[in-house]
Structure 1
Amino acid sequence: MMNALERRSTFALSSIFALRMLGLFMIIPVFSVAGQSYQGATPALIGLAVGVYGLTQAILQIPFSLLADRFSRKPLVILGLLLFALGGAVAAMSESIYGVIIGRAIAGGGAVSAVVMALLADVTREEQRSKAMAVMGMSIGVSFMVAFSLGPWLTSLVGISGLFWVTTIMGVAAISMLLLVPKVTRHHRNYQQGYVTQLKQVLKMGDLNRLHVSVFALHLLLTAMFIYMPSQLIEFADIPLSRHGLVYLPLLVISLFFAFPSIILAEKYRKMRGIFLTAIGGIVLGLLVLIFGFESKYILLLGLALFFIAFNVMEALLPSWLSKSAPIQSKATAMGVNASSQFLGAFFGGMIGGQLLILNNTSMGWGILTAIAVVWLLISFGLVQPRYLSSLVIRLPESKQTDEWTSQLLAIRGIEEVVVMPDQQVAYIKVDKQQIDDAARQDLTHLLGKEVAI
């Protein structure tokens, strides 16, 4: 089970994610109509105002994450959230569509998704990582559903500029959640390398690239589905647009009952690769159901449910696997590349979804998305089971300097990283059990002053 520190940190960092996503998503269902009131608005510029956020996110995730592997992560998160809040304020005060585009671009400049995930990886033990990442993934899904319900209602109350002010308030509120996250100092074997070398190292790793392809395909399919599905729910399921949130939310809840046991199975019994490939297979199956049964209300909902269940399993497993496979000293960098892939996937998913709407052949549309999922599955067969580290929770010694103590720990074979939380007087020692031998156990026992079970 997660300890109190992990639960508090997971809640706070998931809330930061959710508040940012809520501010982003609330605009989407209303701006295509409300945006027409701005000076100079055209359909293309309205689309750019919605999409430019994702573009700047994709471009700046990697620079932010490279810095996060060199410097403290919390100040970078604060900077990103301030940019998010500032962008909302610029858009709120704008009377022209160009001002809104600038505001949305500034808001997207706060590209700290990867930094937040890396911070969550720091403050959770390896054995609890998947659970923490699952909670974060679920918070994103819930914020998506809530935003699509809240956006139209809030716009009717405060107008579109008021909605942008709400995003600013959410950015400031997200900063306050960082108070619940402990201060951490990371210690690992120091690999001196430049930023370009560090990025090249990450990009050369085959399994990391397969995970980047996975998050790209996952969010491409999700975005395309949310553009393509609504008209079919109206036409074939006779469900009006205003009630679509009542379809998505129950399916999200149902998917949690499948997602959490899958995550526990993947982590506890080290079945991550099998669960991962099964989840992609679930996405393929859901899309196949939609090819042949979209004209039936209940088969349409069944295909959507299969997709949601598999999506939420993937959303939880991907960051956990990434944190296991990424080099210790480049964890945030790897997550930055992954986050850029995610936003690019959403960008291309939006483009493909729009094209599918003008196909006038629903089966072919679902077939195209199925083909993308099948290619993704074939690429993912090359994945190998990730390395599993274990975590020891140790009280900081009172008689020694922390830097000296961590250096002695990292000199022991099998000790990969030491994350120190000085305010709590606690350290997480991350251990590779496959590397620990009897001599290393004796050294560790001597250094800690007690025998530890590894």
Structure 2
Amino acid sequence: MNSAAPSQPVQAESAKPAKLKLTPTERRASTTLALLFAVRMLGLFLLTPVFADAAKTLTGGSNAALVGAAIGAYGLTQAILQIPLGMASDRFGRRPVIIGGMVLFIIGGIICALSDSVTGVVVGRSIQGLGAISAAITAWVADATRPEVRTRAMAMVGGSIGISFALALVLSPLLVEIGGLSGLFWVISLLGFVSLLLATFIVPVVPLQVPAIQSRPRDVLRNGDLLRLNFGVFCLHCILMSIFVVAPPLLIGLGGFTTGTLWKVYLPVILASFVAMVPVVFYTETRHVHKQSLEWSVAGLAIVMAIMAFATQSFTAIVILFVGYFVAFNILEALQPSLVSRVAPAEHKGLALGFYNMSQALGVAAGGAVGGLLARYTSISAVFLMGAALAAIWFFTARSFKSPT
């Protein structure tokens, strides 16, 4: 009896880590979906660093408002279609929705590649945005993973997005120099085709956890925790876009970089922050401290943004703070969709993530607009202080969040 008793805790402890390992199916699904998301996002990010300058070769390229419309058209149609396509993925499955979305993405890219005017790019980008599949991809990750390891899987997706962003900063100037703006759009269309192949043939089939039924928006809108998470992702991406309104000129001025060499700052910052984020994700899952990690990360975001406002004269300080910012950003980018998938009813995950991704798109639009206005009429520090204030408000709403069981 005495010899058997001590062995039981040991067995329980040895079983626990095994439970938290990704199964082969979970690992394959998470890896391929992260790759799918990364390739698609690379296709989107490639345009951002160069279009304002490269558009000058097109008819209407000197019209700043039209150029802005071409950049923002994608986000607008994305925001409108996230909910309907999220609902469709609940009813018809994730793969058909994603395949249809990627076909639209490819068609839109081809229209952009063949256009000789910014107006044509606006049309093409709008069509690309109609393939609003972020909710379906995220729901597919949730379908394929257990709650115990889901944040880790979401972190793989979030990290792949960060790496795609860094690669885009490096590759887009080179691609435009080699093939012009048209060549860049052909590469974007090719990346869309690669994503289509991944979704069609590589990502493993994962059946929905419950029979697909007609989703009801009011079921999701009435959930206070989902609304808090939607507000959170709005804040997160509003802050992100406002930062990137002022970060390039700030880094160029402080560090003596050019637009073409800023990747030397962005790439190590994003990679370092991703490495620092991984232990936090593992700790969150093994200790089941999702609510605490949410609060700590938002609080850290607010503190970093506040310090940034007073460090705009030091290149070293800004770079260190950027690492801290992206650590918090990457944690929240992984943690929040995982929590949405756990809070939402199983039959409404696509719908809930549709609302979530719509909130994200609205945050992107708001951050660019507000950040631009503050930078133009006040100062760079005001942009960072706005981000700190928004994160502080978010922190108090996050404290009311009830961690899912």
User: 1:326 and 1:185 mapped to 2: Cα distance?
Assistant: 17
Q: How far did residue 159 of structure 1 move?
A: 0.6
The answer to whether residue 110 in structure 2 is matched with residue 92 in structure 1 is no
Contact 1:10 1:135 in 2 (8 A): yes
Q: For residue 234 of structure 1, what is the aligned residue in structure 2? A: 252
Q: 1:263 aligns with which of 281, 289, 297?
A: 281
The answer to whether residue 25 in structure 2 is matched with residue 33 in structure 1 is no
Q: For residue 294 of structure 1, what is the aligned residue in structure 2? A: 312
Q: For residue 64 of structure 1, what is the aligned residue in structure 2? A: 85
The answer for unaligned runs of 5 or more in structure 2 is 1-20
CA displacement 1:173-204 (0-9 Å, x = unmatched): 001112222223224378x6x54xx1111011
User: 1:111 and 1:12 mapped to 2: Cα distance?
Assistant: 19
The SS at the match of 1:385 is coil
Contact 2:34 2:157 in 1 (8 A): yes
Alignment of 1:102-181 (within 5 A): 102-178=123-199, 179-181=201-203
Alignment of 1:351-390 (within 5 A): 351-387=369-405
**Percentage of matched positions with identical amino acids:** 37
The structure that is strand-richer by fraction is 1
CA displacement 1:237-268 (0-9 Å, x = unmatched): 33333222111211222212321111112111
Q: 1:232 corresponds to which letter in structure 2?
A: L
Q: How far did residue 30 of structure 1 move?
A: 1.1
The answer for unaligned runs of 5 or more in structure 1 is 388-454
User: 1:105 and 1:363 mapped to 2: Cα distance?
Assistant: 34
Q: For residue 274 of structure 1, what is the aligned residue in structure 2? A: 292
Alignment of 1:317-328 (within 5 A): 317-328=335-346
The answer to whether residue 68 in structure 2 is matched with residue 50 in structure 1 is no
Contact 1:92 1:164 in 2 (8 A): yes
Contact 1:215 1:338 in 2 (8 A): yes
The SS at the match of 2:208 is strand
TM-score by length of 1: 0.82
Q: 1:181 corresponds to which letter in structure 2?
A: V
Q: How far did residue 301 of structure 1 move?
A: 1.4
Q: 2:400 corresponds to which letter in structure 1?
A: G
- Which protein, 1 or 2, shows the higher relative CO under an 8 Å CA cutoff with sep ≥ 6? 2
CA displacement 1:348-390 (0-9 Å, x = unmatched): 1111221132135333332122111111112211101122xxx
User: 1:181 and 1:130 mapped to 2: Cα distance?
Assistant: 19
Q: 1:222 aligns with which of 237, 240, 258?
A: 240
* Number of aligned residue pairs: 383
Q: 1:21 aligns with which of 41, 50, 59?
A: 41
Q: For residue 206 of structure 2, what is the aligned residue in structure 1? A: 184
Q: 1:184 corresponds to which letter in structure 2?
A: V
Contact 2:28 2:204 in 1 (8 A): no
Q: 1:283 aligns with which of 301, 326, 337?
A: 301
CA displacement 1:305-353 (0-9 Å, x = unmatched): 1111110111110111111101111011000000011111111111122
TM-score by length of 2: 0.91
Q: 2:56 corresponds to which letter in structure 1?
A: Q
Runs of 4+ in 1 over 6 A off after TM superposition: none
Closer, same or farther in 2 for the Cα pair 1:185/1:300, shift >3 Å?
A: closer
The SS at the match of 1:29 is coil
Q: For residue 349 of structure 1, what is the aligned residue in structure 2? A: 367
User: 1:138 and 1:355 mapped to 2: Cα distance?
Assistant: 30
Q: 1:106 corresponds to which letter in structure 2?
A: I
User: 1:240 and 1:166 mapped to 2: Cα distance?
Assistant: 24
Q: 1:271 corresponds to which letter in structure 2?
A: V
Q: For residue 408 of structure 1, what is the aligned residue in structure 2? A: none
Q: For residue 329 of structure 2, what is the aligned residue in structure 1? A: 311
Q: 1:206 corresponds to which letter in structure 2?
A: G
Q: 1:13 corresponds to which letter in structure 2?
A: L
Higher-Rg structure is 1
Contact 1:286 1:305 in 2 (8 A): no
User: 2:211 and 2:193 mapped to 1: Cα distance?
Assistant: 36
User: 1:128 and 1:250 mapped to 2: Cα distance?
Assistant: 27
The SS at the match of 1:246 is helix
Q: 2:244 corresponds to which letter in structure 1?
A: F
Q: 1:301 corresponds to which letter in structure 2?
A: V
The answer to whether residue 271 in structure 2 is matched with residue 250 in structure 1 is no
Contact 2:109 2:185 in 1 (8 A): yes
Contact 2:226 2:343 in 1 (8 A): yes
User: 1:187 and 1:239 mapped to 2: Cα distance?
Assistant: 51
Q: For residue 31 of structure 2, what is the aligned residue in structure 1? A: 11
- Tell which deviates more after alignment, 132-141 or 29-38: 29-38
Contact 2:67 2:118 in 1 (8 A): yes
Q: How far did residue 21 of structure 1 move?
A: 1.1
Q: For residue 5 of structure 2, what is the aligned residue in structure 1? A: none
The answer to whether residue 229 in structure 2 is matched with residue 208 in structure 1 is no
Q: 2:27 corresponds to which letter in structure 1?
A: R
Q: How far did residue 34 of structure 1 move?
A: 1.3
Closer, same or farther in 2 for the Cα pair 1:187/1:325, shift >3 Å?
A: closer
